[in-house]
Amino acid sequence: MIVVQQVNVGARSKLERKDGVIDTGIFKTAVEGPVTVSELGLAQDVICDTTVHGGPDQAVYLYRTEDYDWWSGQLGRVVASGSFGENLSVAGLESPELFVGDRLRFANLELEVTAPRIPCATLATVMGDTGFAKAFMQAGRPGIYFRVTNSGTIAAGDHAELIPYDRDSISTVTFFHDYHRKHTKTELQRYLALPIDIRSRVFLQDQLDKLNGG
């Protein structure tokens, strides 16, 4: 059974990275009661760097509590839900991966899988480890981005039904590991046929155009 353990939103805050002080919304706190979720995500959740986060195709970020348990074992300290800046901390998904196009249907909300989360310097800084992005990539537990296909509300304790994508697809963990490697035309066309997020679509379309001599 897929159950929401926490619903998390973040306010704008300052973070000192190696390259300077930035504004970020990565620091999330759990909220009680139903939260409104629209096309652009959760009400009152701040997205600061809109070049790489947020928007209709990355409106909601989900992370499994089972993966937090794994990280706690790996790092020898408790890594609490919300630490990676996810909106939904969820228990009961059987695997760290879903497939692009899969949907989670809640009582008052429906979400569609679009992409894995790619780690950045902000996450590494929050974790206090400059090498954490590499460790995150190696772990293959990226969490999942969704677009909102039916707006509504969500709260801790809500259950979800998994609606599998009904056509050929690619898992978010495969997508995650594929992200920075070169692809064949066939691979690129396969990704571009899926309901992936717009940032990945632009990135992969550019690769295909170059292969086609554009």
| pLDDT, tens digit (0-9, with 9 covering 90-100), for 166-207 | 999 999 999 999 998 999 999 999 999 999 999 999 999 999
CB-based burial of residue 20 (10 Å sphere; 0-12 exposed, 13-18 middle, 19+ buried)?
exposed
Residue 201 lies in a domain: no
199 located within any domain: no
* DSSP run (H or E) holding 91: strand 88-91
**Is position 133 within any domain?**
yes
> How far apart are alpha carbons 36 and 67 in whole angstroms?
26
Q: What is the pLDDT of residues 73-103, one digit of tens each?
A: 999 999 999 999 999 999 999 999 999 999 9
Structural domain harbouring 121:
2-178
Q: How much is the pTM? A: 0.96
CATH assignment at residue 158: 2.40.33.20
Q: Is residue 186 part of a domain?
A: no
* 63 located within any domain: yes
- For residue 196, tell me if it sits in a domain: no
Answer whether residue 76 is part of any domain. yes
Q: What is the number of structural domains in the chain?
A: 1
